[in-house]
């Protein structure tokens, strides 16, 4: 019986949640199946974009958190 990969396998593969054995079959499927290849490309593209879409909070709020943390530290000791 020929083992085929599913879209869920591709998602796990992109997020490094598959075993080496699974990887072999998935990589074969990616070569042979255009629809899986498309899902793979979409996921990689999305990962890159989500990494770059990250936002930073203001310095002011970080300072407030640090002040609270410090005061809690002093009380706790």
Query: In the range 1-60, which residues lie near other proteins by CB under 8 A?
Result: 7-8, 11-12, 15, 17, 39, 41-50, 52-60
**How many residues in the shown chain lie near other proteins by CB under 8 A?**
38
77 near other proteins (CB under 8 A) = yes
Q: How far apart are CA 15 and CA 71, in angstroms?
A: 39
Burial 18-44 (b: 16+ CB within 10 A, else e): beeeeeebbeebbeeeeebeebbeebe
Binding residues for other proteins (CB under 8 A): 7-8, 11-12, 15, 17, 39, 41-50, 52-62, 64-66, 68-70, 72-73, 76-77
């Amino acid at each position: 019986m020929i083992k085929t990969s599913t879209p869920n396998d591709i998602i796990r593969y992109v997020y490094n949640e598959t075993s080496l054995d699974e990887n072999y079959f998935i990589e074969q499927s990616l070569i042979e199946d255009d629809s899986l290849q498309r899902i793979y490309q979409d996921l990689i593209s999305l990962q890159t974009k989500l990494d770059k879409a990250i936002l930073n909070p203001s310095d002011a709020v970080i300072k407030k958190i640090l002040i609270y943390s410090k005061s809690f530290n002093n009380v706790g000791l």
